[in-house]
Amino acid sequence: MPGTRTVSTGFPATHWRYLSQNLRLKSAEAADPAALTVAEFLKASRCRELLDELGPTIGASDRRTTASLLSKRLAFLLTGAPLYALSVCDRRLDVSPVNCLIEFTHDGESWRSSLPLHSLAGTPMSPSVRREARRESIRQLFAELISPLWGVLQSEGGVAPRILWENLAVRVYSLYERRLSALDDPGVIRQCDEDFRWLLAAEPDLFGLDFNPLGRFLFDRTALPDGSSIRYRRTCCLYYKTKYPGRYCETCPLLKHRGPRE
């Protein structure tokens, strides 16, 4: 029940509803039985098995496409709730590898997966420690959790690192530029903006890399005839190679050069 979970996590009821409903955070006790521990996912043989099992379900034509599309879903799940907790709630979620499970549930039409955590406790960050707590939260999320996951998807799925990291970057951009910018509290919006700017310039070692992937893929937006604008990607996520031939993501770089397709 939402009320019970609010007490156990420390999040206010409205925040918990957003975390659980919009960003798919839940208890590991409610995880899909097929969910894997991070350690299991990182085993090369198990990762290959998973990609081969998942491919036909999501309509992917090869292991590389499956790995890319799975990373897009994982990018949404793994960054959404932790960054919302950080920027909106001033709390740290424990996203250490031992606290996370990896779900990949898909019904043949759409993803049904969530982010199950063994401990859902949100640790408050007081103003005096917030900057250091933010650094350690981002290091845990990216360097300790996501970077190893992307490494095994690269090695066993054969998908280029730049595709994986841009898949993740666009999810973070969407969170801050769309979801969080639409909040009602001006003070929270200012904090979200500050966190976003900091993330774009954060040290590469916080991501477990020699570059900052969030800063790298934030390209200029392209003006469209209707007066709107769009930030086209530089890499293709391979969605067009699924069971929906001819379909492209709205920010696909192939559309920029070829024009929109139905």
Token duo for residue 96: 């250490």
C-alpha dist (Å) from residue 176 to 27, 57, 84, 131: 25, 31, 9, 18
With respect to residue 88, please indicate whether it lies within any of the assigned structural domains: yes
Residue 107 structural domain: 2-219
Q: Compute the chain's Rg from CA coordinates.
A: 18
Q: At 192, is the pLDDT very low, low, confident or very high (cuts 50, 70, 90)?
A: very high
Distance CA 10, CA 136 (A): 20
Calculate mean pLDDT across residues 1-26: 78
| 229 found inside a domain | no
Q: How confident is the model at residue 31 (pLDDT cuts 50, 70, 90)?
A: very high
Q: Which amino acid belongs to residue 164?
A: L
**250 within a domain of the structure (yes/no):** no
d(CA 146, CA 41): 12
Residues 6+ apart with CB under 8 A from 45: none
pLDDT for residue 172:
98
Q: Is residue 209 part of a domain?
A: yes
Cα–Cα distance for residue pair 156/176, rounded to 1 Å: 31
Residue 238 lies in a domain: no
Exposure string of 103-117, with b = 16+ CB inside 10 Å and e = fewer, is bbbbeeeebebbbbb
Find the CATH number of the domain harbouring 160.
1.10.510
Whose structure tokens read 């894997």? 36
In a domain, residue 225? The reply is no
Q: For strand 122-124 and strand 91-93, is the pairing parallel, antiparallel, or unpaired?
A: antiparallel
261 in any annotated domain: no
Neighbours of 206 (CB within 10 A): 20
Domain count, the chain: 1
* CA separation for the pair 75, 155 (Å, rounded): 18
Return the higher-pLDDT residue of 245 and 206: 206
Closest CA to 89 of 215, 195, 198: 195
In a domain, 213, yes or no: yes
Say what the pTM is: 0.91
Given a cut of 60, whether residue 64 has pLDDT beyond it is yes
Residue 261 is predicted with a pLDDT of 39
